Amino acid sequence: MGRYESLVYVINMKFLINNNKYNILSLTRRIAYHVDRKNKSFSKRLGSGEFPRFHIYIKQVKEALEFSLHLDQKGACYDAQTAHSGDYDGEVLENEKERIINLLKD
């Protein structure tokens, strides 16, 4: 069984990738995401503005990395809130998930 044959899909665009090659910071650079220090997460803009953007949380789970991916359409409406308009499933997110998986196969 190869490294990626044991990929496990969970709900709401969460997925696991076995990892014995990258630390989280080098991995996010490889997949073209940037640190979002405010949220302790990573993001990738889809255009020149701050939104829309892919937003990803990554955590170590035993010998794998758990990815939690969503698409932020816009930021929070009020400064004190973290709620935002986000998409948690759909074709755009499926495509981004597959792009990430393919980049990490090497």
Number of neighbours of residue 42 by Cβ within 10 angstroms = 23
- Residue 20 corresponds to which tokens in the numbers above? 């014995």
Q: What is the pLDDT of residues 8-31, one digit of tens each?
A: 444 568 999 887 788 888 999 999
Q: What is the pLDDT of residues 80-90, one digit of tens each?
A: 555 556 788 89
At residue 41, does pLDDT exceed 90?
Answer: yes
Find the mean pLDDT for residues 24-47.
Answer: 91
At residue 6, does pLDDT exceed 50?
Answer: no
Q: Give the E-state strand segments of the chain in sequence order.
A: 8-9, 14-18, 34-36, 41-45, 53-61, 64-74, 85-87
Q: What is the pTM of this model?
A: 0.79
